[in-house]
Chains A and B, each alone.
Chain A
Amino acid sequence: MHLIIAYIRPERLNDVKQALVQRQILKISVTNALGCGDEQSYHEKYRGADVEVDLTPRVRLEIAVNEAYVAKTIEGIVEGGRTGEDGRGSDGKIFVLALEDCVRISTGARGDDAIG
């Protein structure tokens, strides 16, 4: 079992979801996040003063999957999340973590059965 955490551009969420659904990965969690990575900061203005925004809005995905789905999940996120634009900053990152256990609250099922 693995937990896949990905930070993507907010506007790519729809494409990522579609790419994941096509690969039969239907269970995901989505939260808002702010981050700074390779992307350049951008500037806002407030009452005449310049504001440098170095924390960019991002969306964080958490997807727990069985071994067989790890590669497919990564593939889906990359396919949906990549903009192919250079110089406009990062498209985000994917982290893959080993997952010790998983419990389904409604049934008490554990491990691989609980994830699927």
Chain B
Amino acid sequence: MTPDDVAYLVHNLWILVAAALVFVMHLGFATLEAGLTRAKNTVNILFKNVGIVAIGLLTYAVVGFNLMYPTDAHPWIVDGVLGSFAPAGPAEGGQSIAYNGKYTYWTDFIFQGLFAATAATIVSGAVAERVKIGPFLVFSAIYVAIVYPIVGSWKWGTGWLDSFRGVGFYDFAGSTLVHSVGGWGALAGVIVLGPRLGKYVKTNGSTLIRPIMGHSMPHATIGMFLLWFGWYGFNGGSVLSADPASVSLVFVTTSLAAAAGIAGAMATSWLVQKQPDLTMVLNGALAGLVGITAGADVIPVWSAVLVGLVAGVLVVLAVVTIDRAGLDDPVGAISVHLVCGVWGTLAVGIFAPGKDFVAQLVGVGSIGATCFASALAIFVVLRMTVGVRVSREDELAGLDRSEHGMEAYAGFQFFRTQ
């Protein structure tokens, strides 16, 4: 074998390993969301997470990949804005070095396809415990098949944002392109659905926020660790090669930002809530990870610590603020993925040398407006036609019983009083 062959082997293998790590993030989301919701809704939340992996991968094969990455065979329909609708499949060289010298067509497909599925899964936690399963899956399918790849193409498919103002918008692994996309969908869903029963109680003219506690902190914690583990593939694989210099830097910035996110959330929750809150530091780690994702390969190591620290502080303040605004997000998806996704993308304009802050701002704004408007439209149409929320009785009985006729903890007793 020539040295080029050996390099090809290593590059290709690393991207495949990274894809498998991104896959593990779905287990992370499933356990985190299950842990932060009530025991009577566990089958439902697990069902959504399983369904979304299938929806994400299948729609990406049917339209997503070509929509997001226009090629000579499947060119732009509207130059730099809208790619073509065609199923995935290599023109030629799909399984050889000829694709781009580093990895095969199918390696590229599976890595990007698993990314697409993560964007859709972010929404599921925010709308948990009250959304109807059918309409939710319909929303996810439309959102991940159409909206995610189109806005993704603007940057990663070398669309208009990639060369905007010369320097271009920069989003390394998707603080905006993946996490904010999911976050905007989550925000739209939460607005259309309204809060869970019993979350906001009106007494004597004032509204009291009554926390609805998740049923398993061990699950939530396992979820955070699995997501962090998977993030090594999410960010590390986004180098799109096994280049030692870049991959090693990305591993370090990613880890330090997550660690700093924990530190920031710990300090903030201790100060604001008087006691250190485990769920807040779990969110803090994820906030740091989401925050560094846009600039993991270009932000210097010590700035990465600062990015993570700010994300950790932001996420705690965002959770409290969003809660008080009457937006009921059971797992903090909006705070983690939207707020810190925006922060991380803007942080590239602040900390990374040679990047353009205005371009970052325009990227956040244009993608945000498109995603929020689309998600809102899909949810509103679903609400007007089939309805998006389960009945009061079904919500009280729990979605496991009402939507699935099945229990997560058969033979166990737990309180269904909330």
Contacts and interface: CB of A to CB of B under 8 A. Distances in A.
Interface of A: 10-11, 13-14, 30, 32, 34, 42-46, 51, 57, 59, 88
B406 A45 contact: yes
A10 B417 contact: yes
Interface stretch (B91-99, B254-262, B408-416): B408-416
B401 interface: yes
Contacts of A30: 417
Interface in B339-380: none
A51 B397 CA distance: 17
Nearest to B416: A10
B198 A14 contact: yes
Contacts of B413: 32, 34
Interface residues of B, number: 15
Contacts, number: 31
Contacts of A42: 401
11 contacts: A10-B415, A10-B416, A11-B397, A14-B198, A42-B401, A44-B405, A44-B406, A45-B404, A45-B405, A45-B406, A46-B406
B247 interface: no
A34 to B, nearest CB: 8
A59 B417 contact: yes
Give the 9 A-B CB pairs with smallest separation, nearest first: A10-B416, A13-B417, A11-B396, A44-B405, A32-B413, A45-B405, A10-B417, A57-B416, A44-B406
Interface of B: 198, 393, 396-397, 401, 404-407, 413-418
Nearest to A45: B405
A32 B418 CA distance: 13
Contact of A32 (B198, B393, B404, B415): B415
Nearest to B400: A44
A10 B395 CA distance: 13
A44 B416 contact: no
A16 to B, nearest CB: 10
Contacts of B405: 43-45, 51
A51 B411 CA distance: 13
B315 to A, nearest CB: 30
Contacts of A14: 198, 417-418
B43 to A, nearest CB: 10
Contact of A11 (B401, B407, B416): B416
Contacts of B414: 32
Contacts of A88: 393
A11 to B, nearest CB: 4
Q: Which of B397, B401, B417, B418 has the most CB of A within 10 A?
A: B417
Contacts of B406: 44-46
B151 to A, nearest CB: 39
Contacts of B393: 88
Q: Which of A30, A32, A45 has the most CB of B within 10 A?
A: A32
Q: Which of B198, B401, B416 has the most CB of A within 10 A?
A: B416
Given A10-B417, A30-B417, 7 more contacts: A11-B416, A14-B418, A32-B413, A32-B414, A44-B405, A45-B405, A46-B406
A41 to B, nearest CB: 12
Q: Which of A30, A32, A42, A57 has the most CB of B within 10 A?
A: A57
Contacts of A13: 417
A66 B334 CA distance: 51
